[in-house]
Amino acid sequence: MHSKERVFSGIQPSGTSHLGTYLGALKNFVALQDDYETFYCIVDLHALTTPRDPKVLRSSVREIAAIYLAAGLDPSRAIIFRQSSVGEHAELCWLMNCVAKVGELSRMTQFKDKTQRGGAEAASVGLYAYPVLQAADILLYNAHLVPVGEDQRQHLELARTLARRFNNLYGDTFVVPEIMIPKTGARIMALDEPTAKMSKSRPTPGGYISLLDEPDEIRRKIRRAKTDSGTEVTATPDKPAISNLLGIYAGLSNRTVPEVEGQYRGKGYGDFKKDLAEVVVEGLSPIRERALELLDDPRELDALLESGAEKARAVARPVLRDAASRMGLD
């Protein structure tokens, strides 16, 4: 039998996942599970790179597990697990730390952005090495394809560079992974500030729609979302706010932006926003309801994660052993 190619991706258990996480990543995770052998990780080691309350971290892990399932991942096909349960991630990360270069990590824009306020000197070494751990995550499964949002492009480029470098130094070991970025929804912007990415760490809750927001909360946030000057519902560079809202509409209704623009020709922002609110409510409510149900039974979620980790370990162990042995560790 021809074995399926592999997909790997991960989401951090930090804050609440939002519409950007869903359209940029999670929606694709679900679509890929039919045709690939899929590994979807809850990257708790990555979450530790900035300080966390241990209790909150534990509950965030379960929340992401519930959201994975509620969004449509099927544990009989997709392997869902927690990164820290598979020790091979941290081990391969160390090996890759010895292959990656300080210069490369110093060019990572996410590190620069995240340390802009407090300064790089005060950042954890973990935050600096974050992209190396991410590369290790992917290479450990010899994943061919990595579905992510646009903000992960540079990290994926580094993963490809490290795979190639390792292969050149020690012989053909790792698959060089391809990045997969969706056509619509790759970069959802904040509702209150359409020039900034919708993000978990945004201080204003009006900027993002959490996957667990109540329908009325969603309606309120869409009603208050920033719009642009003018009246036409079109995605043009001078209309960053409406372009963003059109992207959300298109992504959730599985249509293209021009199709949605066509539907609102001759109509105003008010009509569009009213319909958009219902599109978002319809898209997210089933996820929210199912996730909350699943969160009622945390032991079931823990058991699911443990069984995923077992399957993940079985794949990761020989890959790590092979890499270590090629470096002379045997």
What's the CA gap between 252 and 26, in Å, rounded? 12
Instruction: Kindly report the number of other CB atoms within 10 A of residue 173's CB atom.
Output: 17
CB 241 within 8 A of CB 181: no
> Candidates 79-87, 137-145, 154-162, 194-202 — which segment interacts with ligand AMP by CB under 6 A?
194-202
Instruction: Give the sheet arrangement for strand 79-82, strand by strand.
Output: 79-82, 37-42, 6-11, 145-147, 178-180
CA angle 202, 284, 299 (to 5 degrees): 85
Structure tokens at 148: 């992510």
**Any catalytic annotation for residue 197?**
yes
CB 27 within 8 A of CB 251: yes
CB 230 within 8 A of CB 219: no
Residue 84 binding ligand TRP, by CB under 6 A? no
**Any catalytic annotation for residue 200?**
yes
Residue 12 binding ligand AMP, by CB under 6 A? yes
What's the CA gap between 69 and 50, in Å, rounded? 26
Residue 209 binding ligand AMP, by CB under 6 A? no
Residue 283 binding ligand TRP, by CB under 6 A? no
Residue 134 binding ligand TRP, by CB under 6 A? yes
Phi/psi at 192 (5° precision): -95, -5
Residue 175 binding ligand AMP, by CB under 6 A? no
Least Å distance between CB 37 and ligand TRP? 15
At 118 the three-state DSSP class reads: coil
Taking the least distance from each CB to ligand TRP, the nearer of 29 and 249 is 29
Q: How many residues bind ligand AMP (CB under 6 A)?
A: 19
Least Å distance between CB 46 and ligand TRP? 5
Residues in the chain: 330
Q: Mask of contacts with ligand TRP, 15-44, x by CB under 6 A? A: ----------------------------x-
Residue 9 binding ligand TRP, by CB under 6 A? yes
Least Å distance between CB 321 and ligand AMP? 29
The single residue among 46, 62, 197, 239 that binds ligand TRP, judged by CB under 6 A, is 46
Query: Exposed, middle or buried: residue 296 (CB in 10 Å: 0-12, 13-18, 19+)?
Result: exposed
**Among ligand TRP, ligand AMP, none, what binds residue 187 when CB lies within 5 to 8 Å by partner kind?**
ligand AMP
Residue 75 DSSP one-character state: T
What's the CA gap between 313 and 309, in Å, rounded? 6
The single residue among 114, 165, 187, 220 that binds ligand AMP, judged by CB under 6 A, is 187
The single residue among 6, 8, 20, 288 that binds ligand AMP, judged by CB under 6 A, is 20
- Per annotation, catalytic residue among 197, 221, 226, 273: 197
Least Å distance between CB 156 and ligand TRP? 7
**Any catalytic annotation for residue 27?**
no
Taking the least distance from each CB to ligand AMP, the nearer of 187 and 313 is 187
Q: Mask of contacts with ligand TRP, 138-157, x by CB under 6 A? A: x-------x-x---x--x--
Q: Which residues, 6 or more positions from 216, have their beta carbon under 8 angstroms from its beta carbon?
A: none
Least Å distance between CB 11 and ligand AMP? 4
Which alpha helices (H) appear in the chain, and where do they start and end?
A: 19-21, 27-32, 44-47, 54-70, 88-97, 102-106, 109-114, 125-139, 153-170, 215-224, 240-253, 257-263, 269-295, 298-326
Contact set for ligand TRP, span 86-115 (CB under 6 A): none
Least Å distance between CB 299 and ligand AMP? 25
Give contact residues for ligand TRP (rule: CB under 6 A): 8-10, 12, 43, 46, 134, 137-138, 146, 148, 152, 155
